[in-house]
Amino acid sequence: MPQSLLTPTALRRASLDAVLGYAWEADAVTASDVIENVGLTRSTAIDVVDELVERGLLAELPNARAAGEYQKGRPARRFSFLADAGYVVGVDAGRARLTATVADLRGETQAVRHLAADGSRDSAEDRRRDAVRVVDDALAAAGITRSEVSALCVGVPAPVDRNGSSPPHRDDFWRRMNPSFSELFGRWAPIVQVENDASLAAVAERAVGAAVGCDDFVTLLAGERLGAGVWVDGRLLRGAHGGAAEMVAFDHVAGVEGAWGLGYRAAELARRALAKGSLPSSSALRELDPAVIDGKTVLTLASHGDAGAMVVARQVGETLAVIAGVLASLFDSRRIIVSGAVAAGAAPVIEAALAALPQELDLPAPEIVASELGADIVSVGAVRAAVEAARTGVLDLPRFVLAS
């Protein structure tokens, strides 16, 4: 909106938002910095900075002379953003494991807590109880109370619309995974977001991972089940019901036939090969109980050159090539990022996929890379989303509103 159309109140709010956003990222700021980088007059810059100090979001630092950085003339007043003025919580509410990360307003981690859940008992009541428990455990570990939380974001293995709700599903799985988390945490957290877990993985990759500076990419959560967070033209896709890139589409794709993840596929193929007796005699997989074979074990062995595991990895890689080809054809992506716990052992799978990928595409083939953000990537993305939500809404929170 042009400044000439802003009311004095709206103009003031715009100035506060702009200065706070600048200070949020800076180590220290002066009025001159604000004038140069935000475009305010000196009197407005000084007035806005003083108000942010009064609101408890900025603090005045020792002046430049006292800090040994200024020798002559009148020293400039210096200010810093108070990252510990509030805190955010990022939650990965997976089906079998929940993770809560508490961070300050700049996203610096204060505490992380994990909670194993019984995936076979995924009732709404169980999910709500477990989510509250892991969040409260993380807050206690950080020495932070609920009243100090400015924003909270939860990632769930389900589509999520703009209101934080999940649509109906044939067996109501999505709503069991997201049992009104917005309402649950909204009872005490002033800003609450609920998002699809793969979308939050994409947020994490764009902020601090393999997609920094990339506007067109897909983050593929690929452990037990497939999930995709898609960025196109610098924007995260959501869809009318939060179902953009819903992986059930792969039920109908030859060579994939389902939304099973890469880890799941590696374990299943290894078990089948073991049952058939088709594994090379040198393969360590021959010595394992089929019940303990999992994707991590197979891919770790493949990365170490185990002949049987490498055959499995090549097969999984050929499937990944089909998946990447479909995603890249639909979204014209520059990069496909294999994310989550499975990424640590994904190198042999990605190598095989890259070899097969050109056959799947007419468009230029995307890169396929492994994430370095580990198993907690969804929680990392939830923290980043909560930080951004706090930046947008912190000035309206009661604890930062000036008394009349």
Q: What is the largest CA-CA distance in the chain?
A: 84
Of 393, 387, 391, 394, nearest in space to 204 by CA: 387
| CB-neighbour burial class of residue 66 (10 A; exposed 0-12, middle 13-18, buried 19+) | exposed
- Sequence-distant (6+) residues with CB within 8 A of 377 are 200, 201, 204, 205, 209, 221, 339, 340, 371
- Sequence-distant (6+) residues with CB within 8 A of 126 are 117, 118
DSSP 77: P
Q: Which residues of 129-161 are buried (b: 16+ CB within 10 A; e: fewer)?
A: ebbeebbebbbeebebeeeebbbbbbbbbbbbb
Do 53 and 59 touch, CB atoms closer than 8 A?
Answer: yes
pTM of the model: 0.92
Q: For residue 307, what are the β-bridge partners?
A: none
Q: In the prediction, which pLDDT does 71 show?
A: 54
Three-state secondary structure of 22-68: HHHHCCCECHHHHHHHHCCCHHHHHHHHHHHHHHCCEEEECCCCCCC
C-alpha–C-alpha distance, residues 32 and 46, integer Å = 9
C-alpha–C-alpha distance, residues 263 and 238, integer Å = 26
Q: Tokens 């799941």 sit at which residue?
A: 264
Torsion of CA 121, 379, 341, 141, to 10 degrees: -80
- How far CA 403 is from CA of 17, 50, 120, 131, 301, in Å, comes to 19, 15, 50, 35, 63
Do 153 and 113 touch, CB atoms closer than 8 A?
Answer: no
Q: In the prediction, which pLDDT does 360 show?
A: 80
**Tens digits of pLDDT across the chain (404 residues):** 455 567 888 999 999 999 999 999 999 999 999 999 999 999 999 999 999 999 999 999 987 555 555 555 567 899 999 999 999 999 999 999 999 999 999 999 999 999 999 877 779 999 999 999 999 999 999 999 999 999 999 999 999 999 999 999 888 999 999 999 999 999 999 999 999 999 999 999 999 999 999 999 999 999 999 999 999 999 999 999 999 999 999 999 999 999 999 999 999 999 999 999 999 999 999 999 999 999 999 999 999 999 999 999 999 999 999 999 999 999 999 999 999 999 999 999 999 999 999 888 889 999 999 999 999 999 999 999 999 999 999 999 999 998 76
- How far CA 33 is from CA of 41, 46, 49, 70, 373, in Å, comes to 11, 11, 11, 16, 34
Question: What domains, with CATH codes, occur in the chain?
Answer: 3-81 (1.10.10.10), 86-206+378-400 (3.30.420.40), 212-372 (3.30.420.40)
Q: In the prediction, which pLDDT does 54 show?
A: 97
Do 42 and 34 touch, CB atoms closer than 8 A?
Answer: no
C-alpha–C-alpha distance, residues 404 and 401, integer Å = 9
Identify residue 207 by its one-letter amino acid code.
Answer: A
How many CB atoms are located within 10 Å of the residue 63 CB? 15
- Rounded to 5 degrees, what angle do the CA atoms 353, 356, 359 make? 135
C-alpha–C-alpha distance, residues 378 and 372, integer Å = 13
- Rounded to 5 degrees, what angle do the CA atoms 37, 38, 41 make? 110
Q: In the prediction, which pLDDT does 165 show?
A: 96
Q: Record the tokens describing residue 23, joined without a space.
A: 């200070």
State residue 338 phi and psi, 5-degree precision. Answer: -80, 115
Q: Tokens 């042999």 sit at which residue?
A: 348
